[in-house]
Homo-oligomer: A and B are copies of this chain.
Amino acid sequence: MSARSRIPGAVIRRLPRYYRYLSTLHQLGIVRVSSRDMSKALGLTSSQIRQDFSNLGGLGLQGYGYDVDSLLKEIGIILGLDTMYNLIIIGAGNLGHALSNYQNFEKRGFRIIGVFDVDQRIIGKKVNGLTVMHMDELSEFLKENKADIAAITVPRTYAREVAEKVISLGIRGIWNFAPVELEFPDDIVVENIHLSDSLMVLGYNLKQEKKENRA
């Protein structure tokens, strides 16, 4: 059991942010960074940053700071960006289209290998070089192509059924965009993107902000 297997969830969720910031520094040719520098740029305390990196193993050097390149590389390894994951997208509506066309994912090791829908008007059309297939072809497709993650961008009412289907076909990772809670056995990993939830929280915070300004 390596130290890494106990990295707190809160830390893991910050790693992509560190990774992004360090990538920028790397591109700018900056070779060294202190927790204080990062603290200013990211709006976290330097204490938290050191605590976080300490969880990943001693990656810094006293009196010097952190070496940008090796820190970047290390975080990349922890996040598994050196691994290639295959994705399928279920639901070729607007959001499904948007995801299919997103170039950023490939750079991080996520490759979209198939897009599925049930709407005859879309099936056969091309999105980002991939032909949209009918859901009925999914089972065949997965026999010949290994997929790790299914992005679910179907309407709310179909989300559960679709998720159960892909899981029964051996997929373990669900990236859910439908506004429903999907609960599955522990060996299934689910990440939710609830757009309207986020918008509601934004609305709430705006309202609070206004109130405080009046007070």
Contact = CB atoms under 8 A, between A and B. Distances in A.
Interface stretch (A56-64, A117-125, A162-170, A185-193): A185-193
Contact of A194 (B16, B43, B200, B201): B16
A203 B1 CA distance: 20
B175 A198 contact: yes
Contact of A196 (B97, B105, B204): B105
Nearest to A208: B5
Contact of A199 (B105, B187, B201): B105
Interface of A: 1, 5, 12-13, 15-17, 19-21, 41-43, 78-81, 83, 85, 93-95, 97-99, 101-102, 104-105, 108-110, 148-149, 172-173, 175, 179-181, 183, 187, 189, 191, 193-209, 211, 213, 215
